[in-house]
Chains A and B, each alone.
Chain A
């Protein structure tokens, strides 16, 4: 049996994982305990991989797992001891040591320096009392590891003696160093979390300091890097949704008994209807119209949704995409042809389509009105309309009549709002007024979006 302390540590760890959206159940926990028993505790990396094998279920969960693992199974306690004699005393020495370690790519030293840096530069508040803590942001702000890149580059060039002949791969060196620095920043964040957990308790730190898995990142507060990461998930996500939609379509085609064909078939068995024939409905694929707000704050969300619909193209018989900021324009041709470079889709729409006329603030009333005036024939009885946006009209008239006109022609109209429900109709948001006309859903994360897409779209 495993020691009682270990059991508690493990269950706490599993609880933290669940809170971060990794649904590890009791059977997984049992597996994890069995793994620990087989592997022992001698090698931390083995423990990490063993637990991951038992608790992680898919690739996207690994980053969350690693962050939580570093909290619950820390490499050590307190300040890491540098094995070397010359422990850096001040910021300059620390930067020198860091530069040398980066040039060599020495992971172990880098990890120790990260710990040291957090200890020297990251402390804030009253020492390590209850009010204080350790901040990765502060550490990195004072240390400025990115300014070392040039220095490290020079050191590496000098070291390799590449001055005589410029080798092709030397061009890559700068990027390599940049990746190493990025890795070091990650180590600093890990260290700061670990030290903070020592002061303030693991559970609290786990709850706030671990970045959520990509599909749970809020669209509105996602950073550029996170949005890029999200875009990479579009393809796998669309495949997943497509199979789900196809499976549903398959199930629903099993319709009523077709009496005529059953009788005809029964002639071969002497009039006994052994095998009933079913009437198959011809699978009608839905038409879809997207109406997307592309103004600054919600552009990331609309952009992602457009990419998703584009990837799901063959699930619909017809797709038309309209974008607006303060003026509406059809962008279907941009969305359906621009497969080569999805990341610039938003920029292309803004530059090539007439979506901004005045000041670049979204004008829902005007945009809906224009849509109803010029493109109402895009909406028919087989069409599902998805409106994407936060319904913040910037004080303008929401133009409910236009939305009503669209609703009356369409089969369904759904509004996906990337703001949390509690914020609807606060400030300049007309969300609740629109929500009275059409179904409005909170859609803040990829997870919510994928559930909504499969649930809402008629098959």
Chain B
């Protein structure tokens, strides 16, 4: 049972940090449990907090290959699991005109003509694998049913070939932005992790790691302003990705400290709606010149 990538929660934190992913206690603990218990990990949270990055980081530190299934509306079994390579089958049939149907039939439904899609690839491999099922909420309900079967027993049945069972269970990460409610059955199969916005200390560390060359004072200011923005009632709260973007922008602009001018000019990097920008401007009192004590 389990993938056995990590030896302890601290080990998870340390290894992920080496790969450039600073994990909170919640993240490290859940990853460790998923690794030990061999259960898929369902990660939810706002966009830009590092859900997909987490899967990539786990793959990087464990030396696994990353198999990614990007979900979208209308994705089906053929795209997620496997399909037969019809063109190649036809060529094979035309090439062997002399042979009997019996021979051809056993031939064209062999491994050679099978196109493995991400789910089957992840299951049938023998090397360590991280399977990332990205934006699960975008896929239709039917795909969820398929996932249940695959993630429950880590096996897939191809009628012509029989059942393919994983010899080595992959480490599975499902991400979701909660645009659609996932089914209870799927949730029950998974460990659940909600990645929210990091606390200020962690975010400062993330900024310093991702934006080398930034001085501590500026990183500190950036994180404080972001925290203030998140406390406001905005349509789209800035997430970690935006914090990093902003820190990079400020570094590019060459500003060593934050003041009204700089904040007002660069707020568009952080906020993506005009009315949010207006609201934030009022909330941060950008228009009042330094009159309050």
Contact = CB atoms under 8 A, between A and B. Distances in A.
A240 B181 contact: yes
Interface string B259-272: 11001000000000
Interface string B201-235: 00000000000000000001100110110010100
A167 interface: yes
A58 B260 contact: no
B33 A39 contact: yes
Given A172-B225, A239-B179, A53 B29 contact: yes
Interface stretch (B50-58, B163-171, B191-199): B191-199
B178 A236 contact: yes
Contacts of A168: 221, 257-260, 263
B52 to A, nearest CB: 18
B92 interface: no
Contact of A172 (B30, B141, B224): B224
B33 A53 contact: yes
Contacts of A166: 290
Contact of B192 (A27, A53, A167, A240): A53
Contact of A49 (B25, B181, B284): B25
Contacts of B36: 38
Given A239-B179, A240-B180, A240-B181, A53 B191 contact: yes
B193 A53 contact: yes
B29 A56 contact: no
B32 interface: yes
B39 A31 contact: yes
Given A34-B37, A46-B29, A340-B275, A57 B257 contact: no
A334 B279 CA distance: 21
Nearest to B278: A340
Given A58-B192, A59-B44, A240-B181, A45 B33 contact: no
Interface in A19-40: 25, 27-28, 31, 34-35, 38-39
A1 B260 CA distance: 60
A179 interface: yes
B29 A57 contact: no
A58 B228 contact: no
Contacts of B30: 49-50, 53
Interface in A228-244: 228, 236, 239-240, 243-244
B9 interface: yes
A50 B179 contact: no
Contact of A28 (B45, B188, B196): B188
B280 to A, nearest CB: 12
Contacts of B9: 39, 43, 46
Contacts of A426: none
Contact of A35 (B37, B228, B292): B37
A167 B257 contact: yes
Nearest to A27: B188
Interface in B1-55: 9, 25-26, 29-30, 32-34, 36-37, 39, 44-45
B285 interface: yes
A169 B258 contact: yes
B187 interface: yes
A153 to B, nearest CB: 10
A247 B39 CA distance: 29
Contacts of B192: 52-54, 56-58
Contacts of B45: 59
Given A56-B192, A58-B44, A171-B285, A38 B33 contact: yes
Nearest to B179: A239
Nearest to B35: A38
Contacts of B179: 239
Contact of A46 (B25, B191, B194): B25
| A interface secondary structure, majority | helix
Nearest to A105: B200
Nearest to A242: B180
A62 B34 CA distance: 19
A244 B34 CA distance: 30
A228 B9 CA distance: 37
A57 B25 CA distance: 18
Contact of B29 (A39, A167, A171, A175): A39
A324 to B, nearest CB: 28
A54 B285 CA distance: 43
A43 B275 CA distance: 44
B285 A243 contact: no
A169 B233 contact: no
Contacts of A343: 233
Interface string B225-264: 1011001010000000000000000000000011110010
A31 B258 contact: no
A176 B224 contact: yes
Contacts of B233: 228, 343
Interface in A148-176: 166-169, 171-172, 175-176
B10 to A, nearest CB: 10
A110 to B, nearest CB: 14
B180 A49 contact: no
A283 B262 CA distance: 53
A179 B231 contact: yes
Contacts of A244: 181
Contacts of A340: 275
Interface string A203-240: 00000000000000000000000001000000010011
A52 B27 CA distance: 11
A35 B33 contact: yes
A236 B176 CA distance: 13
A172 B258 CA distance: 12
A172 B221 CA distance: 10
A28 B178 CA distance: 21
A197 B34 CA distance: 33
Contacts of A49: 25-26, 29-30
Given A35-B33, A169-B224, 5 more contacts: A27-B188, A31-B37, A54-B191, A168-B260, A240-B181
* The 8 nearest A-B residue pairs measured at CB: A49-B29, A53-B191, A53-B30, A49-B26, A240-B181, A169-B221, A59-B194, A172-B228
23 contacts: A39-B29, A39-B32, A45-B25, A46-B9, A49-B25, A49-B26, A53-B33, A53-B34, A54-B192, A57-B184, A57-B187, A57-B188, A57-B192, A59-B178, A59-B196, A166-B290, A167-B221, A168-B263, A169-B221, A175-B228, A176-B228, A247-B141, A343-B233
